[in-house]
Amino acid sequence: MTFHDLSLIQPLLTAIERVGYTHPTPIQAKAIPPILNGQDLMGCAQTGTGKTAAFAIPILQRLTLKSRPEGKRKIRTLILTPTRELAIQIEENIQAYGKDLDHRHAVIFGGVNQHSQVQQVKNGIDILVATPGRLIDLHQQGYISLQHLEIFVLDEADRMLDMGFIHDVNRIIKLIPTRRQTLFFSATMPKEIKALANTLLTNPEMVVVTPISSTAETVEQSMVFVETAEKKDVLLDLLTVNSTPSVLVFTRTKHGADRVVKILAKSKITAAAIHGNKSQNARQNALNGFKQQKIRVLVATDIAARGIDIDDLSLVVNYDLPNVPETYVHRIGRTGRAGANGQAISFCNQEERAYLKDIQKLIGRTIDLHPSYC
């Protein structure tokens, strides 16, 4: 199948070719037709499956083919997402896909001055990408109206739950028209998320592209058993023997992320950390430097890393194993994306053996020992 088989308009096909996509990923092939038909959709997909394009491309087409209301542009699509990084990247993708179309879009999130965001909204926009807190804040100040909304996207619903945003999500749902198209995406389906989906969706098309607990087959997974004090030495060794220009390292805590960056800096390895204590500007600068390969190693905590979308990222290192097994799936999903090959190497100390057992039970396989550290 090609994108030409999905009944897309020529400006979108041109943009898709420009960004280098050749064939739709499974979720794109399954989700784009029902979204184009105006159906509600329930998408169960792990990160790295091409999910953003699966909803952004058909939304752009629907907005293009339906006449815009008279007067100043009004918000016709709301994409709600849990983190600033993910919100920024979704808007960047919309910019790329809609380059040849007449749509205005904006992204709003907390942690920065609201002035420029408010100004964009005041000028009139068709598509708004937002995190829950800033959206509610600007609505309460009278800057945002959602009365003309036609399409509502709730992305990363399970992460909304993890981060305590479900109350905010329910407040936002009360602000939008009951007659709308709703697109709901979640990597996992705990009972709270199923209940939320049932209240939001009307006769939805169900799209499941991989088992909820699965890891991408294109990711080569391995394990290094190591004492806590020796983790830094193994990491430095890996970075010395592995020539990959971009490495994403996960730690369990903010303090741990900062400590790893200091260790790497002493060995003249360019590194930066992103976590909740960093300002939005610092996080974005670190992410941009990593994308441009000015920074070789990005050290991240889980909440900060959700939504990181790096092309050609071939190595993820779990410096600390996560204590929630589903988080492991999200982490290593940052590599091996959209069919590319990737490698995930995890460090495990004595205290983390229980976490490893839970992870292996979830993914239904044993993670092999790394051949260099058996």
pLDDT at position 68: 86
pLDDT at position 57: 97
Q: Which residues pair with 342 in a beta bridge?
A: 219
Are 156 and 187 a contacting pair, CB within 8 Å?
Answer: yes
Query: Which among 178, 208, 238 is the end of a domain?
Result: 208
Structural domains counted in the chain: 2
pLDDT mean over 34-51: 87
pLDDT mean over 43-71: 88
pLDDT tens-digit readout, 84-94: 878 888 998 89
Query: Which among 188, 208, 228 is the end of a domain?
Result: 208
pLDDT of 153 over the 80 cut: yes
pLDDT at position 242: 83
pLDDT at position 230: 95
Do 318 and 289 fall into the same domain? yes
pLDDT of 41 over the 60 cut: yes
pLDDT at position 42: 95
Do 126 and 15 fall into the same domain? yes
Residue 308 placed within a domain: yes
pLDDT at position 215: 62
Do 83 and 190 fall into the same domain? yes
pLDDT at position 169: 94
pLDDT of 250 over the 60 cut: yes
Name the band, by pLDDT with cuts 50, 70 and 90, for residue 133: very high
Name the band, by pLDDT with cuts 50, 70 and 90, for residue 341: confident
Do 204 and 267 fall into the same domain? no
Residue 213 placed within a domain: no
Give me the CATH number covering residue 39: 3.40.50.300
Do 61 and 189 fall into the same domain? yes
- pTM of the predicted model, to two decimals? 0.67
Do 151 and 266 fall into the same domain? no
Residue 263 placed within a domain: yes
Output 324 or 11, whichever has higher pLDDT: 11
Mean pLDDT score of the chain, rounded to an integer?
Answer: 89
**Lowest-confidence region among 147-161, 241-255, 335-349:** 335-349
Tokens of 94: 């919309």
pLDDT of 339 over the 60 cut: no
Residue with tokens 């979108």: 12
pLDDT of 210 over the 70 cut: no
Residue 178 placed within a domain: yes
Do 99 and 241 fall into the same domain? no
Residue 214 placed within a domain: no
pLDDT of 9 over the 90 cut: yes
Name the band, by pLDDT with cuts 50, 70 and 90, for residue 306: low
Residue 281 placed within a domain: yes
Do 101 and 194 fall into the same domain? yes
Do 70 and 180 fall into the same domain? yes
Do 197 and 224 fall into the same domain? no
Residue 279 placed within a domain: yes
Are 316 and 343 a contacting pair, CB within 8 Å?
Answer: yes
pLDDT at position 185: 93
% of the chain residues with pLDDT over 70: 93
% of the chain residues with pLDDT over 90: 59
Query: Which among 208, 239, 265 is the end of a domain?
Result: 208
Residue 140 placed within a domain: yes
Do 302 and 367 fall into the same domain? yes
pLDDT of 372 over the 70 cut: yes
pLDDT at position 158: 87
Name the band, by pLDDT with cuts 50, 70 and 90, for residue 19: confident
φ/ψ (deg, to 5) at 299: -105, 125
pLDDT at position 291: 86
Domain that holds residue 197: 3-208
Do 161 and 291 fall into the same domain? no
